[in-house]
Structure 1
């Protein structure tokens, strides 16, 4: 038995009903694919996308390219769900996990962030702007980063690799090499 109400044969389906029926397989497939990548529930993603679509249809605006709109809406909903999951904290008697549970961890996490930001600022050329965009809490896409930096999206990957390699070498040089352990001969 389908969880969706059947269209009554006595009256013809509405334009939005036909659109919903035609998009059902696409929404399900996109939600399944996005849920597998992020450990999310596909049914939750589908429901949020349907709500967005129906709100848009109620406002009188059908998407021009509905397939592209569905793909974008599923990605947006999934990104929002992942960000909410990162910000959520346990309530009640459960202790909070992560760097907030003790002052030492909070201090070490803040110190790590300061060290990384300082190293990013010292990287050469366009690397500081690129790395800052990559580390942004806004979770920017490659297209958004390329637009902000005024470069082509295709050159972003190689530039990212060079900048991360430079940052990695800088941070490795700052970390003290471990001392010898055991007996020296």
Structure 2
């Protein structure tokens, strides 16, 4: 077990280019880095890649790492690299068939997406029309681009400024209920 002073000395020596200090540093913390990668249940090859990237990052940033906190720095950096690998894996589609990519829709919307969006817009329009006129006017002014200032809404509709937010909340709740039914 290394003492904290030895850790700090080893990191400082490794930062100055001492190959022996670098080897001691890697030997001491390699199991920690590996344990963090395994806690993410990465494959052996992904865990090895993460480990290599972490040591490369330490080499790149060793002059900026607090020598007394190198273990914590390695844990945080390893976790971030593991998360990066997992996020990348979600974007990759592995297949053995050459025709598999022809079946993937990609970024194309489904054929009925426009039809569904139109129906949803009609539903919202009907729900809005069932609201009282003042509520329709209020929501119209709030949804304008850019939204009307509360002072203008108050003057136009005749609602006190302090009541605009609560009335808007009641309007939106009523719309939610109408759209849910």
**TM-score of the superposition, structure 2-length normalised?**
0.42
Bigger RCO (CA 8 Å, 6+ sep): 2
Higher helix share: 2
**TM-score of the superposition, structure 1-length normalised?**
0.41
